[in-house]
Structure 1
Amino acid sequence: MGIIGSTIKPFKATAFKAGENFYDVTEKDIEGKWAVFFFYPADFTFVCPTELEDLGEHYEMLQKLGVEVFAVSTDTHFSHKAWHDTSEKIGKLKYAFLGDQMHVLSNNFGVLRDGVGLADRATFVVDPDGVIQLMEITCEGVGRNANELVRKIRAAQYVRSHPGEVCPAAWEEGSDTLAPSLDLVGKL
């Protein structure tokens, strides 16, 4: 796909967020911030509310890490509000839901299903420079794990703030990192 390391493309979407009026979000709103774009196929479905609830349970932690979260589907912001107002799981969520009925975001991130009009189940992490650092795409029936997303964001933030170091597999905050060099070639 070649999307890792690319800069987020311009977009404008209307957001719904509990306790707030509808408002527009563009790529300018995330400049200087970490952001998660959490695509899911549709409101009022089955796996989606379980994933969104799991993400919601980690939202406060993500906020402490300086990360803003945007749930995105090809539904409208009105549908997002209706789902929030009628679902116990969705009703407690505090992050923004973006309506992408014109498929701008889904196309920008390359996750719009051809001939279906729905987004794939996909997660993208964008750094403060607007560069896509992480992505995960799963099939329709496989939900994501917010614990793993948080771990990956911590690793990406660590690598950004510690040039010359990398985080090995299953790295957790506080664990040892690696400094790639010729001395390590063939020794790991």
Structure 2
Amino acid sequence: MATLVSKPAPDFGAQAVMPDGSFDQIELSDYKGKYVVLFFYPLDFTFVCPTEIIGFSEKHAEFEKRNTQVIGVSIDSQFSHLAWRNTDRKAGGLGEIKYPLVADLNKQIRKDYDVLADMGIAFRGLFLIDKEGVVQHQLINNLPLGRNIDEALRMVDALQFHEKNGEVCPANWNEGS
């Protein structure tokens, strides 16, 4: 896998299910001027994926406070995303999600971010993109390994602290520590 760190994030345009349940065409470049946490997940209607998707949604206000847009991507269609959103959480669904879920039907976004697994689905990739559209952090997990949402927030904090103060952030750094 190639690293994208310190390189411009590959732009994309794709259909997404928006927080209000509507369909819209979004482009990564629409979010220039904001930080972006772009994460890839393997498939809709699976077992680990909803824990991450719901986790990001539950922390949405924390990301918003940091001028950070969360975007989820899978190879499923926007119709599948909507059906999963419209399924009650008690029945294995997502319920309301507070950020866009992108449909990468042709797998081009996955290819551009080098997270395409052998089975045609995506590894669990996460990319932190700065306000200028440059990838500052990337994390790629194998399929069975879920991500830590608080760690994603910590990385946003670390990047913003570095940009503001010009200081580095050592292991286990947290704001105010």
Q: TM-score, with normalisation over the residues of structure 2?
A: 0.93
In the other structure, the counterpart of 2:151 is: 148
Q: How far apart in 1 are the matches of 2:96 and 2:20?
A: 11
> How large is the Cα RMSD of the aligned pairs?
1.2
Alignment counterpart, residue 169 of structure 1, candidates 162, 168, 171: 171
CA contact 2:36–2:129 (8 Å) conserved in 1: yes
For structure 1, which segment, 116-125 or 85-94, has the greater mean C-alpha deviation from structure 2 after superposition?
Answer: 85-94
Alignment-mate amino acid for residue 131 of structure 1: V
In the other structure, the counterpart of 1:34 is: 35
Q: How far apart in 1 are the matches of 2:165 and 2:19?
A: 36
Verify: 1:136 aligned to 2:148, yes or no: no
- Give matches, 1:74-85, under 5 Å: 74-85=75-86
CA contact 2:14–2:103 (8 Å) conserved in 1: yes
For structure 1, which segment, 11-20 or 116-125, has the greater mean C-alpha deviation from structure 2 after superposition?
Answer: 11-20
Verify: 1:104 aligned to 2:114, yes or no: no
Instruction: Please state how far the C-alpha of 1:20 moved relative to its aligned partner.
Output: 4.4
Alignment-mate amino acid for residue 113 of structure 2: F
For structure 1, which segment, 36-45 or 47-56, has the greater mean C-alpha deviation from structure 2 after superposition?
Answer: 47-56
- How many residues are paired up? 173
Q: How far apart in 1 are the matches of 2:108 and 2:164?
A: 32
Q: How far apart in 1 are the matches of 2:14 and 2:87?
A: 23
Q: TM-score, with normalisation over the residues of structure 1?
A: 0.88
Q: How far apart in 1 are the matches of 2:46 and 2:21?
A: 24
In the other structure, the counterpart of 2:52 is: 51
Deviations 1:118-139 (A, max 9, x none): 1111111100110001111111
Q: How far apart in 1 are the matches of 2:3 and 2:21?
A: 36
Alignment-mate amino acid for residue 14 of structure 2: A
For structure 1, which segment, 120-129 or 21-30, has the greater mean C-alpha deviation from structure 2 after superposition?
Answer: 21-30
For structure 1, which segment, 52-61 or 16-25, has the greater mean C-alpha deviation from structure 2 after superposition?
Answer: 16-25
Verify: 1:17 aligned to 2:18, yes or no: yes
Give the match's secondary structure for 2:19.
Answer: coil
Give the match's secondary structure for 2:15.
Answer: strand
Deviations 1:125-169 (A, max 9, x none): 100110001111111111111011101110011111222x10111
Verify: 1:123 aligned to 2:115, yes or no: no
Q: How far apart in 1 are the matches of 2:12 and 2:125?
A: 17
**Structure with max Cα Rg:** 1
